[in-house]
Amino acid sequence: MLVIVAPGQGAQTPGFLTPWLEDPAFARRFEWLSTVAGLDLVHYGTEADADAIRATEVAQPLLVATGLVAALELFPHPSDAFERIGAVAGHSVGEIGAAAGARVITAEQAMVLVRERGRAMASAAAATPTGMTAVLGGEREEVLAAIEAQGLTPANDNGPGQVVAAGTMEQLAALKDAPPAKARLVPLPVAGAFHTHHMAPAVEHLGALARSVSTHDPRTRVISNRDGQVVHDGREVLRRLVGQIAHPVRWDLCLETMEDLGVTGILEMPPAGTLTGIAKRALKGVETFALKTPDQLDDARAFVDKHGESAGLDLTPTWRVVVSPAKGTFHRDETAGASSVLSAGAAVGDVASSRDRVSITAAHGGQVVEWLVEDGDLVSPGQPLLRLHPEGAA
């Protein structure tokens, strides 16, 4: 099982794009996405200094464009990729690249969204002096309690030993004065308290734009930052992308889902290193590949060949499937089980686990063709549950 992941803001370093742009095909595609974003991303990826590429409105489009174009280098025939990718996930802004990679939105839509996301988040950050501090080590419960005690938000929960606190500078100073035991605090070079209520204005702006964005259901499993669930409805993926701006990133839950899926290999798109580093600590025995430079592409393709397998979501235009969002026991809705047609939004059932109980609906509706699981069956994240024939389809 292969999972492709895309890093978030902070992964960029000065000049990291220089070797990639030596490839004329990469350069042409990258310049096109730069044009869509309305930014000279070539300059920012090659000549700009650390301060310039730290700016939120620059860093976010830079990261998404890099991941999208690098994916075309890794998979020269994109449609073939879905025969080998088991799931995709992105950390924070990396979710936009992951959504485009799964064909929920186009590359051009992704660049417009990330441009507006970066601008709106930079504007929200300017309203109040806020920041973020990584809390490394310590006992998890003590760390979370110390963060809560100062009114801060655990904005990034990245797994064992790495939680990022976010809030006002005064709150962060108070945390520094009263740190959790056995933990090290590292202030992060970011412009504001991302993934907290301070970003609410950005959610409002991007949400208004997103209402006009057309989507498609993903071609592979998309693991959501919000709760680690597998999402297979395009509109829901987009809704979560917008809401995530002011909601904590639960990368720890994303890692749990990868483990539930049976991941054997995780490949991180450039600028890589951060997420594979986390995975090495959290998922023992899972191989990782950090794609940093183009001279690694042959080895990366060999890694894909070694771990790749289809997500099992191959669809024709006249079929839709409803999939499980999580690992657990499937309970079929009695009405759905007795129906031959389900309306859009109709209840299908739920999946119960030791952590929670997740409701499942038929986002698009249609004629019931085949139930693929029985009531009481154990299911895995992204497993097809029900096959539908869309109403009105030929």
Give catalytic residues, as residue numbers.
92, 195
Do 384 and 323 meet the contact criterion of CB atoms below 8 Å apart?
yes
> Residue 61 corresponds to which amino acid?
P
Exposed, middle or buried, 161 (CB in 10 Å: 0-12/13-18/19+)?
middle
Do 240 and 230 meet the contact criterion of CB atoms below 8 Å apart?
no
Do 341 and 367 meet the contact criterion of CB atoms below 8 Å apart?
yes
User: What is the sign of the dihedral through the CA atoms of 370, 373, 376 and 380?
Assistant: negative
> What angle (nearest 5°) sits at the alpha carbon of residue 228, between those of residues 226 and 231?
85
- Coil/strand/helix, residue 373: coil
Calculate the CA dihedral of residues 51, 132, 17, 215 and round it to 10 degrees. Answer: -130
Which tokens sit at 95? 């979710």
For every residue of 66-84, DSSP letters joined together read HHHHHHHHH-SSHHHHTTT
For residues 37 and 345, what is the distance between their CA atoms, to the nearest angstrom?
A: 35
Do 109 and 213 meet the contact criterion of CB atoms below 8 Å apart?
yes
Calculate the CA dihedral of residues 44, 49, 52, 55 and round it to 10 degrees. Answer: 90
Helices (H), 154-196: 169-177
Collect all residues with Cβ–Cβ distance below 8 Å to 95 and sequence separation of at least 6: 6, 89, 224, 225, 240, 241, 244
